[in-house]
Amino acid sequence: MYVGDKYDKIVELARRRGFFWPSYEVYGGVAGLYDLGPLGTLLKNRIVDKWREWFVRRHQDLVVEVETPIITPHKVLEASGHVKHFTDPIVECLKCGRRFRADQLVEERLNIKAEGMGVDEIGRIISEEGVKCPVCGGDLSNVRLFSLLFTTTIGPYSHDIGYLRPESAQGMFTSFKRVYEAFRERLPIGIAQIGKVARNEISPRQGMVRLREFTIMEVEFFFDPENPSCEVLGRCYGKLRLLTADARIKGVDKPLELEVMEALENGVIKTPWTAYWMCVARNFISDLGIPENQMYFEEKLPNEKAHYSAQTFDQLVRVSRWGWIEVSGHAYRTDYDLSMHMRYSGQDFRVFKRYEEPLTVKTQKVVINKALIGRIFKERSSNVINAISSLDVNTLRTLLTSDEEYVRVEEYLIPKNAITIQEVTEKISGKHIIPHVVEPSFGAERILFVVLDNSYSEEGDRVVLRLPRSLAPIQVAVYPLVNDEALEVRAKQIYEELVNKGLYVVYDDSGSIGRRYARADEVGVPIAVTVDYQTLEDSTVTLRDRDSRTQIRVRRDEVAIKILSFLANSLNIT
């Protein structure tokens, strides 16, 4: 289908025709940063729209979309664990240049606990104990911290540290209660967000596949851990291609194909909602033109998982240059994030779960006669009351059954008649739970590259970008067959009409007709309208299909409707 290195050709095409190129090229460029050009921006927008269609619009009874800031205060990422888990103490061998986790090195060499030690302390231990490079024996550099978080300051005070978010998820967790209330306290609920994130990768390569700044599209889907079933699982059809962690450990590298229900019953996927969103992810990627045999889900091994995840699957797609690359991650984050934010913020992120039938529970309640205590103990009364309250009912009951008139609680002698134990029946209408979260998360630019890689083809000496019609940045091309005023006028009218239908259209009258078809094919324009001399006689034009290169002649007044149905895949030109 193509010759030579496809990746190089795609990159060359991307620069030349305006899909993407390295940012700040005029200053030498910065690794991991890319500009999207005019066509790249259109294509990315179509991918983003399609994601929104699959994950939000089609689930509008379950999922809502929000937008939260990129700049994130220190406290938020401290709570989420990113400050800790994104920052490693690192030493470098001054001789061979290899880098090591300083704390791990100290633990291995000296068999002491180094985790959580400060940089200075680890550095002191390394120099005092004479720890050397474990590979070449060279001297080690000073210990420094390396964080994948981009740091900034908020406002004029340099101690107000902020970060560029490394994922959009924390914005959804911190606003969870608001969204939950605004959406009338429904569970399950998904909160979606599309936006930029930044990760200060040590050494980004692989072009659009590993960026320091990219667009993430993710859903935090909150559900009741006591009722994790997915009521829309019936919407899933077809098999998932899965490679489990167990299989990977055994050295298996071929995914198995399982029905969703099978995968859940076998325990391969731990939660129904993860399985459900994996199905949607498969459908979404298929919808971008990626064949199903070119994708599968791979379960992460325990040491590969993020700190917050109980189970993670990555969705992999095959590309020409690098083989299988990740286009989405599906993490079961449990209640990790909400719990951490509860602890750090002091706010209550639990939701009230109403029982179907209120429970009637008989309990025993300690009633303290505070008036009596007050009269006796005066200013010490609250200490006394606290002391009594800290005892459980059974202990108190035992104390009260003694023959004495007083009971001793801590250093206080309290008259028995100040304390009574009552049987009460309480009605409990529900309880508080912390929702669990499953998270499907996609990188938009990476998917953009995957789409280009998948669509790129060569026909003889010409390039045809076989983009799905619904993704094409430019949807229609309009041409006069030759340079002739009469033809140009007609063609321009058609151009105007199609623009007014909401389409992205290109008009081109430069060069031979073959050259213009080739120009359009190269950027994936799916259909072309050509005005020729016959148009002047009988008001018909030709429509040409990019992929089959065949043409049909249609009436001038049917052009727009035919093109719209062609773009909607309900008309084919063969």
181 Cβ contact partners less than 8 Å away, ≥ 6 residues apart: none
Number of residues assigned to the chain: 574
Does 389 participate in binding RNA (rule CB under 7 A)?
no
Closer by beta carbon to RNA, 167 or else 278: 167
| Residue whose CB is less far from RNA, 45 or 551 | 551
Tell me, by CB under 7 A, how many residues bind RNA.
65
DSSP 51: H
137 scored as a contact of RNA (CB under 7 A): no
- Per CB under 7 A, which region of 65-73, 106-114, 425-433, 525-533 contacts RNA? 525-533
Least Cβ distance, residue 126 to RNA (angstroms): 17
**Residue 31 contacts RNA per CB under 7 A:** yes
Residue 393 binding RNA, by CB under 7 A: no
Three-state SS for 506?
strand
The answer to whether 390 and 412 are in contact (CB under 8 A) is: no
Regarding 538 and contact with RNA (CB under 7 A), the answer is no
Strand partners for 359: 428
**Closer CB to RNA, residue 416 or residue 466?**
466
Q: Dihedral sign, CA of 168, 170, 175, 181?
A: positive
Give the one residue of 382, 395, 420, 512 binding RNA; rule: CB under 7 A.
512
Confirm or reject binding of residue 108 to RNA (CB under 7 A): no
% helix, strand, coil for the chain, step of 5:
40, 30, 30
Contacts of 264 (CB under 8 A, 6+ apart): 272, 275
92 binds RNA (CB under 7 A): yes
- Cα dist from 182 to 175, 189, 206, 389, 428, whole Å: 11, 11, 42, 38, 25
Least distance between RNA and beta carbon 351 (Å): 25
The only residue of 227, 347, 398, 534 in contact with RNA, by rule CB under 7 A: 534
Contact residue for RNA among 86, 176, 180, 223 (CB under 7 A): 86
**Which one of 318, 321, 416, 466 is in contact with RNA (CB under 7 A)?**
321
Give the CA angle between residues 327, 329, 331 to the nearest 5°: 175
Q: Which of 86, 75, 84, 271 is nearest to 173 (CA)?
A: 75
In contact, 468 and 568? CB cutoff 8 Å: no
Q: Does 515 bind RNA (CB under 7 A)?
A: yes
State which of residues 67, 120, 304, 426 lies at the interface with RNA (CB under 7 A): 304
Token readout for 455 is 């669509």
Does residue 517 belong to the site contacting RNA (CB under 7 A)?
A: yes
CA dist 552 and 362 (Å) reads 81
Listed residue (549, 548, 544) closest to 531, CA to CA: 544
Please, which residue, 29 or 234, has the CB nearer to RNA? 29
Q: What's the CA gap between 420 and 417, in Å, rounded?
A: 7
Cβ-based neighbours of 19, under 8 Å, separated by 6 or more: 13, 36, 37, 39, 40, 43, 448, 452
Q: Which is nearer to RNA, 122 or 527 (CB)?
A: 527
Residues from 177 through 216 that contact RNA (CB under 7 A): 199, 201-207, 210
- In this complex, which beta carbon is closest to RNA, that of residue 262 or of residue 547? 547
Measured from the CB atom, the residue of 64 and 506 that comes closer to RNA is: 506
What are the residues binding RNA (CB under 7 A)? 12, 15-16, 22, 26, 28-32, 82, 85-86, 92, 96-99, 148, 166-167, 199, 201-207, 210, 304-309, 321-322, 461-463, 481-484, 510-515, 517-519, 522, 530, 532-534, 541-542, 544, 549-551
